[in-house]
Amino acid sequence: MTKILHRTIKAELPRVVSAQGVFIEDANGRSYLDGSGGAAVSCLGHGNGEVLDAMRAQMDRVAYAHTSFFTTDVAEDLAERLVGLAPDGLDFVYLVSGGSEAVEAALKMARQYFVEIGQPQRRHIIARRQSYHGNTIGALATGGNVWRRAQFQPILPETYHVSPCYTYRDQRPDEDAAAYGQRLADELDAKIRALGADQVIAFVAEPVVGATMGAVPAVPGYFRRIREVCDRHGVLLILDEVMCGMGRTGSIFACAAEGVQPDLVTIAKGLGGGYQPIGAVLLSDAVYRAFEEGSGLFQHGHTYVGHPVAAAAASKVVEILSRPGVMEHVALMGDKLQESLESALAHSSFVGDIRGRGLFRGIEMVADRASKEPFEPKLRLHARIKREAMERGLLCYPMGGTIDGVRGDHVLLAPPYVISPEEVDQLVERLADAIDAAT
Ligand code: PLP
């Protein structure tokens, strides 16, 4: 009898005992192809010797020192690398231990920024209905996932939500990408005006939506229009790259592909690559200077901020990700994954949409392709796909979500970047079998 409160109490979880590359093995000797990198975490695959060596070396030097007393070479090195790879203007880094912590810190930074510059009346956060920003109270309130929020609603701080950029369901037949992006930007503009333009702190969005509906990129130009709206009202733009960042979509920062300069960016998951729990917020020069010239501190902090072993692991992960050819391989394997999924799933009338960027792909399941009607929630299709996939030696990340009252099931794929073309074929073959068995 387990003493752990597992995520799902009734599920019998196999015990994992070893992992190497894109494969992970349980105590019964069953091997699984890690088609989702856990939850888009294991970007370098399992058992990367260079990262393990970097961690060992740091542990031998110093495993922990509180950041109120010291900084470390590894934390400074990590920050330098991240700033060097980030879009222009993001010049400073705040280190945390994971994605929700990164989002919480970014929200508080945004609020404190306005206090520092003499606009303490600003108090509203706007995000999108199709979003997940973490499970702590502030991050959960920011996200728009109805199911995740439902029972905690009474204790969540008030936040506001606008429409997601969701081409498959929401772009109108008479609208091109530019008109669709403009309509959404106008909606944000109207929401800011309705709340009072001088009352809004920030707009928060994932450049490519992950956990809510599965790898949904925005239409070209959407984020530039959103940036214009934020600038018009002095509102900060926070981009949450916890899932889609760190090379997942084929560029180290997903927002690089959108050509926008956010004020704050959150990262986690792939930053530690699963070797250590770590996240970060990158902040603009303007936000940093407001703290520096104002109170001289960011009024926040957790015990494990800037943990040296986590920083050592992340610094090595980032160094590996920035080597020549790595992002090109992600883009190449991502295109192959998309094409293979399209051809292997073409026969299934239950596959509504296959989308994404790089090695970040989503498959939206529908009961009827023509009407896009989702499956009945009680069928728990996503859970069946997950079970069937595991039986075939595949880990994928299926989820059900509720968006604007519409419940849908999707499968998220986010394999390690070291995946080979043959392993992509294997992944797709096992997934296609699992979907057929589950539908
Ligand atoms: N933000 C996004 C976009 C995420 O996808 C997640 C997790 O899936 C989080 C934040 C929360 O990260 P964590 O689970 O590390 O707290």
List the chain domain ranges: 16-47+324-438, 51-321
- Judged against a pLDDT cut of 70, whether residue 406 lies above it is answered with no
Q: How far is the CA of 141 from the centre of ligand 1 (A)?
A: 13
pLDDT in tens, 220-257: 999 999 999 999 999 999 999 999 999 999 999 999 99
- Judged against a pLDDT cut of 90, whether residue 49 lies above it is answered with yes
CA-based nearest residue to 63, from 324, 386, 357, 313: 313
Say what percent of the chain tops pLDDT 70. Answer: 98
Q: How far is the CA of 133 from the centre of ligand 1 (A)?
A: 5
Which residue has the least CA distance to atom 5 on ligand 1?
Answer: 243
Q: What integer pLDDT is reported at residue 70 of this predicted model?
A: 98
Q: Kindly state the average pLDDT of the residues 175-182.
A: 98
Cβ-Cβ contacts under 8 Å for 309 (sequence gap 6 or more): 55, 58, 59, 63, 64, 276
- Judged against a pLDDT cut of 80, whether residue 403 lies above it is answered with no
Q: What integer pLDDT is reported at residue 164 of this predicted model?
A: 94
Q: What integer pLDDT is reported at residue 108 of this predicted model?
A: 98
Q: How far is the CA of 244 from the centre of ligand 1 (A)?
A: 10
> Six-digit token pair at 268?
């986690």
| Start-to-end CA span in the chain (Å) | 33
Where residue 207 falls among pLDDT bands split at 50, 70, 90?
A: very high
- Judged against a pLDDT cut of 70, whether residue 405 lies above it is answered with no
Where residue 378 falls among pLDDT bands split at 50, 70, 90?
A: confident
- Judged against a pLDDT cut of 70, whether residue 426 lies above it is answered with yes
- Judged against a pLDDT cut of 80, whether residue 1 lies above it is answered with no
Which atom in ligand 1 lies closest to the alpha carbon of residue 131?
3
pLDDT in tens, 293-307: 999 999 999 999 999
Q: Is the CB of 134 under 6 A from ligand 1?
A: yes
Q: Is the CB of 243 under 6 A from ligand 1?
A: yes
Which residue has the least CA distance to atom 1 on ligand 1?
Answer: 133
- Judged against a pLDDT cut of 90, whether residue 400 lies above it is answered with no
Q: What integer pLDDT is reported at residue 379 of this predicted model?
A: 87
pTM, 2 dp = 0.98
Q: How far is the CA of 243 from the centre of ligand 1 (A)?
A: 6
Torsion angles phi and psi, residue 8, rounded to 5: -120, 110
CA distances from 357 to 161, 210, 245, 306, 401 (A): 25, 11, 11, 30, 21
What ipTM score was computed for the predicted complex, to two decimals? 0.99
Which atom in ligand 1 lies closest to the alpha carbon of residue 240?
3
pLDDT in tens, 253-279: 999 999 999 999 999 999 999 999 999
Q: What integer pLDDT is reported at residue 402 of this predicted model?
A: 63
The architecture of the domain spanning 16-47+324-438 is Alpha-Beta Complex (3.90)
CA distances from 121 to 21, 118, 174, 197 (A): 51, 9, 41, 11
CATH number among 3.90.105.10, 3.40.640.10, 3.40.50.300, 3.40.50.1220, domain 51-321: 3.40.640.10
Q: What integer pLDDT is reported at residue 404 of this predicted model?
A: 62
